[in-house]
Structure formats: structure tokens, C-alpha cells
């Protein structure tokens, strides 16, 4: 009992940290006996896409409430919402629903002032490059030279093709030949 409890706690902590595999296992723990299978993917930062597949169509409201309840119990400050997509095995999508999940961890996070140091790692702005200005200018000039010469070569090749081809395309000329009939 002790081992399964620590494994379950470990899985829960991993799922709360945002591991898609762990969230799927966390959900499937109770869904698989009902012949419902969940796949979890990232949809956008803070939002999980949960695809549910089943043989028999379950009660939609109960299923959505159950999924939301399980995600809420994770108490993750990373997971802010879910997009549930439901379909019968091998069939097209039956229904979709988006739900915002407000966990106690999210609520605490939204109540305090946000500073860049408080942001989770996935939301931190990219660090400024520490390259010297002369090196950035060199890279910019090199890019202009390389791309500029390619553009000039293309235009020059097009003009040369036009000049070598001579006159532009023309319509065929039909000459009228007159035959005199002599009896």
C-alpha cells in the first residue's frame, strides 16, 4: 500500500509539473475501466488538449466535470485551462469544450503582483543577447550582402533571358494565297 501511495503521489507531482504523459496516466487511471482513453498534448502555453476516445458515448457533462475535477486536484500553477476533444474510436470529433481551470495555486498566483522573476519558466521573456554591437552590425551587413547579391543575380538573369530571346512572343501570321482558277 505504501509503495502504490508514493507512486501515485509521484505521478501526481509529475502531472502537476506539466508532464503530458503523467497527466494522461493520471486521467486514465480512472477512465480506462470505463473504456475511455485520454491523450494529452500541449495546445498553447498553460492549456492542455485532452483527446478522449471511447467505444460507447458517455454522458458529456459528467465526463467534462470529472476531467475538470481531476485537473483541479493536481493544483498546478502551470495548467490554466483545458481543451477537451471527444470522439468515438476511429471516428470524427463528436464534441469539443474549452474550460478554464482555476486551481488554488492559480488563484494565489493571480492575486500577487507579477514580476519577471515570479513568472514560470515557460513564460519568461527571452534574455537579451550579450553580443557586442559591432558583431550584430557585422551579421546584419553580411545578411544584406548575401541576400542582396542573390536578388541582383536573379534580376540580371531574367533581363538577360529577355534580351537573348529577342522579340517577345507573337501571334502566327496567316498569309492569304490567291489562286486563280482557269477553266
For residue 53, list its beta bridge partners: 37, 87
Q: Which residues, including other chains, have CB under 8 Å from residue 2's CB and lie 6 or more apart?
A: none
- pLDDT for 61 equals 92
- pLDDT for 63 equals 92
- pLDDT for 123 equals 38
Question: Could you give all domains of the chain from N- to C-terminal order, each with its CATH number?
Answer: 2-113 (3.30.70.2960)
**Per-10-residue mean pLDDT, the chain, length 183:** 66 84 90 91 87 90 92 86 89 89 70 53 48 76 75 80 69 67 60
Q: Which three cell numbers stand for residue 3?
A: 509503495
Give this prediction's pTM: 0.56
**Phi, psi values for residue 24, rounded to 5°:** -60, -45
- pLDDT for 86 equals 93
- pLDDT for 117 equals 54
Amino acid at each position: 500500500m505504501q509503495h502504490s501511495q508514493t507512486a501515485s503521489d509521484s505521478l501526481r507531482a509529475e502531472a502537476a509539473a506539466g508532464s503530458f504523459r503523467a497527466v494522461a496516466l493520471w486521467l486514465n487511471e480512472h477512465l480506462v475501466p470505463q473504456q475511455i482513453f485520454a491523450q494529452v498534448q500541449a495546445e498553447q502555453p498553460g492549456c492542455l488538449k485532452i483527446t478522449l476516445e471511447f467505444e460507447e458515448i458517455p454522458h458529456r457533462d459528467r465526463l467534462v466535470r470529472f476531467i475538470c475535477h481531476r485537473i483541479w486536484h493536481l493544483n498546478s500553477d502551470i495548467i490554466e485551462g483545458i481543451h477537451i476533444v471527444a470522439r468515438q474510436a476511429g471516428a470524427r470529433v463528436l464534441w469539443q469544450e474549452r474550460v478554464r481551470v482555476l486551481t488554488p495555486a492559480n488563484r494565489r498566483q493571480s492575486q500577487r503582483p507579477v514580476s519577471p522573476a515570479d513568472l514560470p519558466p515557460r513564460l519568461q521573456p527571452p534574455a537579451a543577447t550579450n553580443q557586442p554591437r559591432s558583431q550584430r552590425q557585422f551579421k546584419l551587413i553580411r545578411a544584406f550582402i548575401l541576400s542582396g547579391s542573390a536578388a541582383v543575380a536573379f534580376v540580371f538573369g531574367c533581363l538577360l533571358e529577355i534580351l537573348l530571346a529577342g522579340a517577345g512572343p507573337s501571334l502566327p501570321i496567316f498569309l492569304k494565297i490567291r489562286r486563280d482558277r482557269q477553266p
